[in-house]
């Protein structure tokens, strides 16, 4: 069987045929990052459309022993978005919904592929202290240590299981420690950010 065929087949069942890309000409789009460095062609670029699909794809990777790299818009300068030749890319740019905006706009929950501009559109009277103008919210948080306004996360862990975290809950400060973890602490499939008033 061709390398990666099984995980690709599983991913197509989970995400749909059109969201699992394997053609080399198409995959070349996903080889580079914000510094235009080129990595190898991955086995596939998989674009899940929901948290459940991310969990399913990660489970498929775990079951088939396939390495994966998680990617947003691929604008980082750290190399964190570059694929490996023996793995797949999980690309989160289809997941760009605003999930919730609480009364008064103190907190907003978004999917990781949402562009930062979507935050300002959803809550124009609020300000996002650590928002980067480019890329995706998820990519920015995964690649930037010290971001202080993450107050909730839904994570898909490396075995495909999910966990919800709220900064108000007692326990280890995982929501605060997550920014800058570069995908090594799980995939954030929903991110709640604390906002401040735009004066």
Partner 1 sequence: MSETVVPRSFSEAAAALAGAAAQERPVRVVGGGTKLGWGGAAPPRALRLLTTHLDRVVVHDDGVIATLNAGTSLVRTQAILGRTGLMFAVDPQLGLGRPAATVGGVVATGDAGPLSHRFGTVADQIVGITVALSDGTVVRTGPRSGQEQDGYDLAKLLTGSFGTLGVILAVDAHVRLVPAETATALGSSGDPGLLRDVVEVVTARHGDLEAFDVAWIAGRGGLLAQLGGDESNARAAAVAQTMRACGLDGTTVRVDDAGLWARQRAGQRSAVRAVLRVHTRRRELDVVLKLADEVGGTLVGRAARGIAYLTLDVGRIAAVRAGLPAGSAAVALDLPAGARGAVDPWNVGEGSELELMRGLKAGFDPARVCNPGVFVGGI
- Which positions lie near partner 1, rule CB under 8 A? 102-104, 106-107, 145-146, 148, 157, 161-166, 168-174, 176-182, 184-185, 196-197, 199
Element (H, E) at 37: none
Cβ proximity to partner 1, 21 vs 189, nearer residue: 189
- From the list 149, 138, 128, the residue with the least C-alpha distance to 198 is 128
Closest separation in Å from C-beta 37 to partner 1: 17
Tell me the closest approach of the beta carbon of residue 176 to partner 1, in angstroms.
4
What lies within 8 Å, CB to CB, of 36 at 6+ separation is none
Token look-up 């580079």 returns 32
Distance CA 108, CA 134 (A): 18
Q: Which residue number, 4 or 179, has a Cβ lying nearer to partner 1?
A: 179
Using the minimum distance from each CB to partner 1, give the nearer residue, 30 or 68.
Answer: 68
Across the chain, the runs of DSSP E, i.e. the strands, are 20-21, 44-46, 67-71, 87-91, 98-101, 107-110, 126-127, 150-156, 162-166, 187-194, 196-197
Closest CA to 21 of 57, 45, 56: 45
- CB of residue 5 vs partner 1: minimum separation in angstroms? 31
CA distance 48 to 55: 9
CB of 178 to partner 1, least distance (A): 7
Nearer to partner 1, 36 or 184 (CB): 184
**Minimum CB distance to partner 1, residue 148 (Å):** 5
Q: Based on CB atoms, which residue is closest to partner 1, 6 or 106? A: 106
CB nearer to partner 1: give 64 or 162: 162
- Centre a 10 Å sphere on the Cβ of residue 38 and count the other Cβ atoms it contains: 12
Supply the minimum distance, in Å, between the C-beta of residue 79 and partner 1: 11
């Amino acid at each position: 069987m061709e390398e990666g065929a099984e995980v690709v087949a599983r991913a197509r069942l989970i995400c749909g045929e059109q969201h699992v890309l394997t053609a080399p000409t198409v995959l070349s789009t996903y080889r580079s990052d914000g510094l235009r460095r080129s990595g190898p062609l991955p086995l596939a670029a998989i674009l899940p459309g929901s948290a459940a699909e991310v969990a399913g794809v990660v489970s498929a990777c775990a079951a088939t022993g396939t390495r994966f790299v998680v990617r947003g818009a691929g604008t980082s300068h750290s190399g964190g978005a570059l694929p490996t030749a023996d793995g797949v890319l999980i690309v989160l740019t289809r997941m760009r919904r605003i999930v919730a905006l609480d009364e008064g706009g103190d907190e907003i929950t978004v999917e990781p592929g949402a562009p930062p501009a979507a935050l300002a559109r959803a809550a124009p009277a609020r300000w996002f202290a650590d928002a980067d103008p480019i890329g995706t919210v998820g990519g920015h948080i995964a690649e930037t240590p010290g971001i202080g306004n993450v107050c909730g996360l839904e994570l898909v862990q490396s075995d495909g299981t999910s966990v919800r975290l709220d900064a108000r809950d007692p326990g280890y400060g995982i929501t605060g420690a997550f920014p800058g973890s570069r995908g090594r602490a799980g995939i954030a499939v929903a991110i709640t950010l604390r906002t401040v008033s735009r004066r």
